[in-house]
Amino acid sequence: MTANILTQVFLPLALAIIMMGMGLTLVMDDFKRVILYPRAIALGILFHVVLLPLIAWGVIGLLGLKLELAVGLMILASCPAGPTSNLITHLSKGDTALAITLTVFSSMVTIFTIPFVVNYSIGYFMPEGKSELLPLFRTILTVLFIIAVPVAAGMFLKQKFPVFAKKSQKTFKLISALFLILIIASALYKEKDNLAEFFRLAGPAALMLNVLTLGISFLLARLIRLSFRQSLTISIESGIQNGTLGIAIATTLLHNAAMSVPSAIYSIIMFITATAIIYIGNKTIRLEK
């Protein structure tokens, strides 16, 4: 399989299948929860659109990340929550309904904000035409077709064929997990010659972004007096990014494998911190009972 087929065909297809799997778990009531959780939804969207990119920008400045790796971290920060966040929220005893709603809404909103954040980052960190810019309308359409359309298709199947949807959810979850592993491994393999240096440079930045995002979002949620379970959910939704989409943007739309490395590294790190979150969430909920 050539790199072109991998990035242009397999990667978007894999991401679409992952998002369709998420759509199979959704119903229309998931969209109505914005009325039930107005503060939680507003904070979650604000974090994804504004605060997360600002935190990433601060991390880049603090650690002195340069060129492609800096842009790659900003690409990741512009992405929505990943479908995996719903599973982690469930395992952490968080508010799964809120998690699903936040994942859906962050995915819909960031379709339109990604090109602006990424292009500004490219212009700032890689001036003088060192990298091509994201084409605005092509990016919106591409992300729309690999996120919104598959989610809608999954919801349609769930409504029209509920038995099939229920039976196929486990299969989609397994396929999604395998695709996620393959995509991360592929992104890292492409830069195997520079991998040690990239891990040295981008690893601390990815870890710092993840920890700061998890911590700050949780504190802000508590500050506006959300419950522990809702605060935990917002923390997970803010910190478990759709690294697969970050890799797809870097390799498919920008044709720059180096920019995909922060997303790949972050995708590994976030599962490590997620283990700690699951432990803390379960322990806290047990103590509250």
Residue 213 confidence (pLDDT): 94
DSSP per-residue codes, 8-67 = IIIHHHHHHHHHHHHHTT--THHHHHHHH-HHHHHHHHHIIIIIHHHHHHHHHHHHT--H
97 or 11, greater pLDDT:
97
Residue among 77, 14, 52 at smallest CA distance from 266 = 77
> In sequence order, what are the beta bridge partners of 81?
241
* Confidence class for position 1, pLDDT limits 50, 70, 90: very low
Q: What is the pLDDT of residues 187-223, one digit of tens each?
A: 667 667 766 777 788 889 999 999 999 999 999 999 9
Q: How far is residue 184 from each of residues 41, 71, 122, 167, 189, measured CA to CA in Å? A: 29, 18, 23, 27, 9
pLDDT at 105 over 80: yes
Helix, strand or coil for residue 81?
strand
Q: How far is residue 18 from each of residues 85, 130, 244, 253, measured CA to CA in Å? A: 13, 32, 9, 19
Domain boundaries, the chain: 3-288
Q: What angle do CA 154, 157, 160 make, to 5 degrees?
A: 150
- Give 3-state DSSP helix, strand, coil % of the chain, rounded to 5: 85, 0, 15
Q: Would you say 133 and 119 are in contact if contact means Cβ atoms under 8 Å apart?
A: yes
Residue 34 confidence (pLDDT): 66
What is the H or E stretch that residue 103 is in?
helix 96-125
Helix, strand or coil for residue 289?
coil
| CATH hierarchy code of domain 3-288 | 1.20.1530.20
Residue 190 confidence (pLDDT): 67
Q: What is the pLDDT of residues 216-271, one digit of tens each?
A: 999 999 999 998 889 999 999 998 888 888 888 888 888 888 888 899 889 888 88
Q: Residue holding tokens 């803010």?
A: 238
Percent of residues, the chain, with pLDDT higher than 90: 20
What is the H or E stretch that residue 133 is in?
none
| Average pLDDT taken over every residue of the chain | 82
